[in-house]
Amino acid sequence: MTFVGKILVIVIMAFALLFLGISTVVFTTATNWKTETEKQRQRVNDLQKKNNDANELVKKRDGELKKAQLEHDAAKKDLQARVAGLEDEIKRLQTDITSTKGTLETAQQNAHTALEEAASLRKETDLIRGQKSAVEKQANDFKIRQTELIDKIRELSRQLETATNNNSDLRDRVSRLGQALRQAGLSDDPKQYQAKGSPPTVQGEVARVDRQNSRVELTIGSDDGLVPGHELFLFRTKPQPQYLGKVKILSVDPDQAVGQVIGTTYHGIKIQEGDHVSTSLRSL
């Protein structure tokens, strides 16, 4: 029995003696002692029952205490094991720290040596940096030029592709037209038909003029219906409307044509880029 249980037994016995003394006093002083005795006996029985309940409770608490002691011992062993593991870990960390200190000292020495080497190489690095800057500038200029050339190549490729497609389409159209003309008993030589009819209604501008003021490059061509031999009026609209003369188409491309000034221009006026050509003078 534990110390707490002993104290509880002593307390219960003290209460029993106290109640017994009270019962004795009541027994001696009461007039109806029999009835009082029965009451006291009943009280004693109640106290004994409470005493028995208290003893059972003490036994139960004693079992719980033993169980708690066992759990405490198990937890203590677990903590001791953990402490031992932590001590081992601390020893390992101390060993690592010692090793790390040695490595750090070596690294510091190496760093000092590297700094000395870096100081000796700094001037050479500055020189190389200047050379690199000049090379990078030249490389950037080359890249810009390369980009411009690539864009130009792409544009020329698109133009070549368009020209190839137009050429293929024109060849197909010429082949079909020649076949249709031969089937109709007509010649398929275009020279026999050029400029036989009036030129289509067109309007264009002068893109370039030669030094002799005799040949002009126009912004309209075969796509607009022009063929060699067509004649167009040449005029200027600014600062005031002015007739310049006539040009005869010598050669055509899909989007441009070359013309020869017929005779001379009106009053020998010099043709300028931006002057107009048309099949009529209504624009004046």
DSSP conformation letters of 101-169: HHHHHHHHHHHHHHHHHHHHHHHHHHHHHHHHHHHHHHHHHHHHHHHHHHHHHHHHHHHHHHHHHHHHH
* Backbone angles phi and psi of 223, in degrees to 5: -65, -25
pLDDT digits (tens, 9 = 90+) for 179-212: 776 776 655 555 445 555 677 889 999 999 999 9
Contact 233, 223 (CB under 8 A): no
- Could you tell me which of 282, 211, 220 has the C-alpha nearest to residue 251? 220
Q: Does residue 233 carry a pLDDT above 90?
A: yes
| pLDDT above 70: percentage of residues in the chain | 89
157-183 average pLDDT score = 82
CB–CB of 227/252 below 8 Å?
yes
CB–CB of 202/220 below 8 Å?
A: yes
The residues near 2 (Cβ < 8 Å, ≥ 6 apart) are 58, 61, 62, 65
Q: Give the pLDDT of residue 195.
A: 53
The domain spans of the chain are 197-278
Q: For the chain, give the mean pLDDT.
A: 84
**Rounded-to-integer distance, Cα 62 and Cα 134, Å:** 94
pLDDT for 31: 52
pLDDT tens per residue across span 122-138:
888 888 888 888 888 88
Confidence of residue 273 (pLDDT cuts 50, 70, 90): very high
**How far is it, in rounded angstroms, from Cα 163 to Cα 167?**
6
pTM, two decimal places: 0.35
Q: How far apart are CA 63 and CA 57, in angstroms?
A: 10
- The reported pLDDT for the residue numbered 62 is 82
Most confident listed range (108-122, 143-157, 197-211, 243-257): 243-257
Highest average pLDDT, of 32-41, 174-183, 255-264, comes from: 255-264
Number of residues in the chain? 284
Specify the pLDDT at position 194: 53
**The pLDDT of residue 73:** 87
Q: Dihedral sign, CA of 224, 188, 246, 265?
A: positive
| Fold of the domain built from segment(s) 197-278 | Thrombin, subunit H (2.40.10)
For residue 246, pLDDT over 60 is answered with yes
pLDDT at 11: 82
Task: Give mean pLDDT, residues 103-129.
Answer: 84
**β-pair partners for 246:** 233
Neighbours of 220 (CB within 10 A): 22
Answer yes or no: are the C-beta atoms of 218 and 208 closer than 8 Å: no
Q: What is the pLDDT of residue 186?
A: 55
